[in-house]
Amino acid sequence: MRLPSFCALRALCLLPLVAGLLSPAARADLVWTAQTGWRVEGGVLAGVDGPAGRKALDLMNSARASEDQGSVRSALRSYAKVAKTYPNSIYAPEALYRSARLELNRKNYIKAFEDFQQVVGRYPNSKRFNEIIGEQYRIASSLLDGARGRMMWNLLPGFKNRERGVEYFETILVNAPYSDYAPLSLMNIARGHHSLKQTENAVDALDRMINNYPQSLLAPDAYLKIAQTHATLVEGPYYDQAATKESITYFTDFMLLYPSDANIGAAEKGLDGMKSMLAESKMKMADFYFYKRNNFTAARIFYNEAITSYPDSAVARRAKLRLADVEAKVAGKPVPTQGKAEGDAAPKKKRFWIF
């Protein structure tokens, strides 16, 4: 029998200690009071300082004093030094958090988001995790809505950066995929791409929303919006109808899944328009074969498809008249005038000009 190696045995022995360190009871809290400054309370880390810890503590106290006196730049420098020089100390996540707060107050949205992200990425067990995700969501929403960043040289307004807002919502999805902010972020990603005229990306975001969060309260809106977004890609009956078919699918799904939704009327109207468009595209193909190619077999097929695409529509009634015209043409009988294709103008009479 193969015996476990020394390294494996040592790892097994360390597991209880690691578990103890990671448990909520073992975590220490960093507390601030005006009388004592920053101090560590509770957990196995309480009272553990050493030279490096004391230096980090001095920087934290100096930063907080500068912050309270309104010296924001000085406070930011001290907090940044703590985070960079003592990244493994208990003070580092708090330094990044307070730095992010100060940057946010200055409307320096990008730097604030990045500092918050460092807390989430490097210290995922932080007790401020949920709070930080909420702050990141608000920053992303502000940027997407056109918020301007910090003024340049205290004269010029900052630039809008909606693209960065979309990017930040994607980051929130990675940070907290099972939080309440995840479906909200996807809906905002879709909204952002739509406003940036990136329709395919908007469809992708809505599709992810439907597939990943089908039980969300936002799912009905996602179904309706993806149907409406596909509808905007439809260019007319003479073009490819892939987007039309996708729109029909999502409008139909919405009506089946959410029959009592307040937007059911909008879905019915959208579905009617898309089914009419699909039927009309079949009519155009049938008219082409009938009037331009005298291919009566192909004309019959497409007229029948127009009828089956939307049986109770005005397009279907026109298709039935055209089928009668086809049969009359095959039998060698005159074609009724009411069966002519709409838009086919009568031949213009010749005019004779005398100069």
What is the three-state SS of the chain? CCCCCHHHHHHHHHHHHHHHHHCHHHCCEEEEECCCEEEEECCCCCCCCHHHHHHHHHHHHHHHHHHHCCCHHHHHHHHHHHHHHCCCCCHHHHHHHHHHHHHHHCCCHHHHHHHHHHHHHHCCCCCCHHHHHHHHHHHHHHHHCCCCCCCECCCECCCCCHHHHHHHHHHHHHHCCCCCHHHHHHHHHHHHHHHCCCHHHHHHHHHHHHHHCCCCCCHHHHHHHHHHHHHHCCCCCCCCCHHHHHHHHHHHHHHHHCCCCCCHHHHHHHHHHHHHHHHHHHHHHHHHHHHHCCCHHHHHHHHHHHHHHCCCCHHHHHHHHHHHHHHHHHCCCCCCHHHCCCCCCCCCCCCCCCC
Token pair, residue 135, equals 């702050």
The pLDDT of residue 2 is: 46
- Report pLDDT digits (tens) over 135-158: 999 999 999 999 987 755 555 566
Rounded Cα distance between 127 and 41, Å, is 14
Name, in order, each residue with C-beta under 8 angstroms of 195's C-beta and a sequence gap of 6 or more.
144, 162
The pLDDT of residue 155 is: 57
Token pair, residue 283, equals 């009519």
Mean pLDDT of all residues in 169-177: 97
Domain architecture of the chain: domains with CATH: 27-106 (no CATH), 119-216 (1.25.40), 232-334 (1.25.40.10)
The pLDDT of residue 333 is: 84
Question: How distant is the alpha carbon of residue 89 from its chain centre?
Answer: 36
Return the CA Rg of the chain.
Answer: 33
The closest of 106, 104, 126 to 114, measured between CA atoms, is 104
Selected residue with higher pLDDT from 45 and 102: 102
Count of CB atoms within 10 A of residue 294's CB? 10
The pLDDT of residue 43 is: 57
Selected residue with higher pLDDT from 36 and 213: 213
The pLDDT of residue 158 is: 67
Name, in order, each residue with C-beta under 8 angstroms of 237's C-beta and a sequence gap of 6 or more.
277, 280, 281, 283, 284
The closest of 218, 221, 226 to 246, measured between CA atoms, is 226
Q: What is the mean pLDDT of the chain?
A: 86
**Cβ atoms of 251 and 267 closer than 8 Å:** yes
Mean pLDDT of all residues in 301-321: 95
The pLDDT of residue 33 is: 82
Name, in order, each residue with C-beta under 8 angstroms of 179's C-beta and a sequence gap of 6 or more.
130, 133
Token pair, residue 212, equals 């990943």
The pLDDT of residue 34 is: 75
- Dihedral pair phi/psi, residue 31, rounded to 5°: -120, 140
Q: Which residues on adjacent β-strands are paired with residue 29?
A: 41
Out of 158-167, 182-191, 242-251, which region has the weakest mean confidence (pLDDT)? 158-167
| pLDDT > 70 in the chain, percent | 82
